[in-house]
Structure 1
Amino acid sequence: MGRRPHPKNQMGQKSPFPRLYGRHAVFAALDNPERSFRKLYLTPLTSKTLVIPPGLQVQYGDDHDLGRLCPADAPHQGFVLEVEPLENVWLGDILKQANDGDNRPILVLDQVTDPHNVGAMMRSALAFNARAIVTQDRHSPAESGVLARSASGALEQLPWVRTVNLARALGEIGDAGFWRIALDGRAEATIESALGTNQPALVMGSEGDGLRNLTMENCDQAAKLPISGVESLNVSNAAAIALYACARRGL
């Protein structure tokens, strides 16, 4: 992969590259063979707790120095890693891996923009053995320390497809045999009945506006979660419950 010119990068200076922070996110990135590293920032104490990959540039500072590289009050724990963004995963590769009898879901996000929510959904998707997460490139968060920390290592393991046209991607997913379920609190069917024995693609809408009309038109069925007492759940909580429902089938 071609590498961009390396900017001068002093403590506290902004960088065009993602900076991951926190022990879990940094260690997961260091263990990912697909990840390219630019610079590792450590405190003298945390430098004793890991094996630094050969050739990786390291800069040392105190907790305050590392804090200047992260969002305000971010719990960096003495680890900050500047990285190259991961290569985008091609949807066609994910769909080719979908074999008969393997009903692992795909999670599709329609303009979910909060990096905390996207990271949390990545974590749930990995925990419940989803194939991949699919987002629209222009209306979803980029890689960042916030997203990586919320994902708790899942950013480095779960395939992430970023597509220009979500409606076209849903068409390809349907053509590959997936049953596209739009999660909508107004639906009559519940997630359990909609799942059946199909190979599902769970489609989740944005935090405020929900699913767009064009997205709904490219789904096979709408379904709701069987909740009561509240009108709706946070989108990341709803995704976790839907993914759990997928994993429970046949048990």
Structure 2
Amino acid sequence: MRKIIAAGLSCAALLAGGAAIAQDKYTVALDGTFAPHAMPKLGGGIEGFNVDLANTIGERLGVEMDIVATQFSGILPGLQAGTYDFVVAPTTINAERAANYLFSEGYLNTDFQFVVANDAPDITDMKEFAGKVIAVNKGSAYDSWAREREAEIGWTVESYGTNTDAVQAVISGRAFANVAGNTVAAWAAKQNPNIKLSYLYSTGLVWGMPFRKGDEELRAKVESVIECMKIDGTIAAMHEKWFGVAPAAGSAAVTPVAGFGQPGFDGYEDNGHEPSC
């Protein structure tokens, strides 16, 4: 009897493993209010750069992409809990995150840019934000970055559930500035004549896609598609469509990386893999 039970369990394990290999749908997450990367569209649903990116990855892998739009602060905990297979929200790769999550190579450079009211003075140095209220998207990289510099700069950081709310705080006068990614800031300023672009902080960092530790095989599948999208110009075309400009030569949007993951961070696998399509 024990042998029969053991054989049955082994069979079940093999079937489960086969089901995992033959997975035909991935549940992925992003912040659906983080324009122009993801935002509500007329008639329902969401659209944006990362929505197009996720759907194209799904098409090339031959799988359905179940894209879940939620607040950014709950996305990485949801990944760890197994709610999502991986994350398609723009997520800055840094040392702390790379220690806890497995990242794809970067697909966009990420700089920080401030927006201020249209009649605000021009800012040429971050020290000029001293005494000002800075609005940020709760749980984002901009939130932690701004808070780490509160004492140094002398600004006050206020967090909001979405970046749209943070921008609205600037428009209403509750905050002097909002800091977000340069692509998001450019989109916000383009859409609203009451605000304008202000100080740009260059980070040298990139956005990647987080996976759970141990999901190296899934990361490799997804990253191989991302590399081909860089090589064939698909990401560059999406860049122009949503941000209004072509990506810079040598930027993450057009430059595939050898190995898997982002060089210089935990989880990078230098295994001789060379991008090819």
TM-score (norm 2): 0.24
Query: Larger Cα Rg: Structure 1 or Structure 2?
Result: 2
Query: Which structure shows the bigger proportion of residues in strand conformation?
Result: 2
Between 1 and 2, higher relative CO (CA 8 Å, sep ≥ 6) is seen in 2
